[in-house]
Amino acid sequence: MLNYSEKALPKEPPRHGDGDGDVHTRITSQLQTYYNQILAQPLPDRFQELLLRLDDEAPTATDGERGE
Amino acid sequence: MSETKAELRDEMVACIPSLRAFAASLVGMGDRADDLVQEALVKAWANLGRFEPGTNMKAWLFTILRNTLYSTHRKRKREVQDVDGRYSAMLASQPNQTGYLDLDDFCRALDQLPDDQREALILIGASGFSYEEAAEICGCAIGTVKSRVNRARSRLADILGADATSDFGPDRAVAAVLATSPGSAVKISAME
């Protein structure tokens, strides 16, 4: 009688189609699509206004809360 | 404004889209994300003298944005949003229908991740940071970032994999055929 321990069984070959490999590829590409969609959005006007306002203020190194 | 400051300002401006994307992944897309970006930019500008030229401006700004979020009272649960509404509006100009459906599912799955895992995944998988940089931004060990990213990926794979093989399996298969083969789409609709 053949008695295979679980360890001795050959590993399943990588699956295709709806297998895990496919899901991971999809995750990678959808994550980038998600992120790139936001990157590609036009900046809201408030940022233009903010930059104009900041340009009028000299940045200082001595005062203010440290960013980290 | 000195030449150096002007250069730093331009570097900062170039990072705004990435900051918005990062903020959206932390607090959800919308005004709250933009408030956070704005606050981070104001802080960064006020502290520009502390930035070491030649180091990574994007990582510096991401750190400030993240600390702004976590150090203020505004740390609330990430807003659960109308995914369909926000993404169909955002993607309205895109021609590929299958693309939206997939992305809606993906965003729903992303919403289900714990905050720390989603953040690590975005930093590594989308924002292009190294594990070392991401660890600095999050103030944790490199191994912690790796484990968060791995857990995020397997959780997403569980959620999306289950969708792909059960509820949405046949629809996806049909959608894929329709999307890749306009000829067959015409035939199918002609048969109906």
Q: Are B101 and B107 in contact (CB under 8 A)?
A: no
* pTM beyond 0.80: no
Q: Are A67 and B47 in contact (CB under 8 A)?
A: yes
CA–CA separation, B160 and A27 (whole Å): 8
- Residues of chain A contacting B41 with CB distance shorter than 8 Å: 47, 50, 54
Task: Report the residue of chain A nearest B156, measured CA to CA.
Answer: A27
- Whether the CB of B50 is below 8 Å from some CB of chain A: the reply is yes
Span B19-63, pLDDT tens digits: 999 999 999 888 999 999 999 999 999 999 999 988 999 999 999
Q: Which residues have a Cβ under 8 Å from the Cβ of B187 and sit 6 or more positions away?
A: none
Burial of A39 (0-12, 13-18, 19+ CB in 10 A): middle
pLDDT at B143 over 50: yes
Chain A interface, best mutation among B70, B160, B172, B177, by max A CB count within 10 A = B160
pLDDT at B108 over 70: yes
CB pair distance less than 8 Å for B17 and A23: no
The pLDDT, as a whole number, for residue B190 is 44
Tokens of B192: 């109906």
pLDDT at B181 over 50: no
Chain B segment 14-43 residues within 8 A of A by beta carbon are 16-18, 20-21, 24-25, 29, 34, 37-38, 40-43
Residue A59 — very low, low, confident or very high, per pLDDT cuts 50/70/90? low
Residue B95 — very low, low, confident or very high, per pLDDT cuts 50/70/90? very low
Q: Which residues have a Cβ under 8 Å from the Cβ of B119 and sit 6 or more positions away?
A: B25, B26, B66, B138, B148
The pLDDT, as a whole number, for residue B5 is 82
- Compute the average pLDDT of residues B67-84: 63
Q: What is the 3 state secondary structure string of B169-185?
A: HHHHHHHHHHHHCHHHH
DSSP H or E segment with residue A45? helix A45-56
Between the CA of residue B135 and those of A30, A67, B145, B147, what are the distances in Å?
A: 23, 17, 6, 11
**Residue whose structure tokens are 């690590």:** B120
CB pair distance less than 8 Å for B48 and A61: yes
- Whether the CB of B162 is below 8 Å from some CB of chain A: the reply is no
- Whether the CB of A25 is below 8 Å from some CB of chain B: the reply is no
CB pair distance less than 8 Å for B157 and A24: yes
Q: Which residues have a Cβ under 8 Å from the Cβ of B49 and sit 6 or more positions away?
A: A59, A60, A61, A62
> A4 or A39, which is more confident?
A39
Q: Are B38 and B20 in contact (CB under 8 A)?
A: no
Q: Are A54 and B42 in contact (CB under 8 A)?
A: yes
Cα B151 → chain centroid: 17
Distance from CA of A32 to the nearest CA of B (A): 5
- Whether the CB of A45 is below 8 Å from some CB of chain B: the reply is no
Span A9-32, pLDDT tens digits: 454 444 444 455 678 888 999 999
DSSP secondary structure, chain B, as one string: --HHHHHHHHHHHHHHHHHHHHHHHHH-SSHHHHHHHHHHHHHHHHTGGGS-TTS-HHHHHHHHHHHHHHHSTT--PPPP--HHHHHHHHTTT---HHHHHHHHHHHHHHHTS-HHHHHHHHHHHTS---HHHHHHHHTS-HHHHHHHHHHHHHHHHHHHHHHHHTTTHHHHHHHHHHHH-HHHHHHHHHH-
